[in-house]
Structure 1
C-alpha cells in the first residue's frame, strides 16, 4: 500500500526508520518521492540564498564538501 513512500524497501519495511514493519497511516515520516524532491528543492533554495561562507561551512559539515544546491535548477544567487 505504501510502496510509493520514499523510505519503502518494497517488502513492507522502511529504509529510513528502525521499525520492522511499515506503519502506513500512523507513520509521520510518510512522503512520496515527489514530495521528497519538492522538499529538497525548497531546502536547496534556502541554502543557495545563504552567504558563500555559510554555504561552505554547511557543505563541509553535512555534505562532505559538496554543494548539491549549486547545481540545482532552482538556485538563486546570493546578493547583498
Structure 2
C-alpha cells in the first residue's frame, strides 16, 4: 500500500489554519523552553547554596559543584538565545 501526503494551500482559509498551527507550535515550544529555564534556574540555586556552604573548603566536591554551576548557566543562556 502506498500512501502519499499532499499538502497544498489553495485558499485563504487554509492559510489561516496553517498559520495558527505554526503559531501554536511556536507558543508550545516557547512554553516548553520557559519551563526548562525555570527548572534549570531552580537547580542552579540549589547548587549555589551548596557551593556557598562549602566555599572555603578546597575539595573535589567544591570543584564538582563549580562545574555543574557553570554547565547550568551555559544551558540557561543557550535556551534563552533561542527566543
Q: What's the TM-score, normalizing by structure 2?
A: 0.34
Structure that is richer in helix per residue: 2
Higher relative contact order (CA 8 A, sep 6+): 2
Q: What's the TM-score, normalizing by structure 1?
A: 0.35
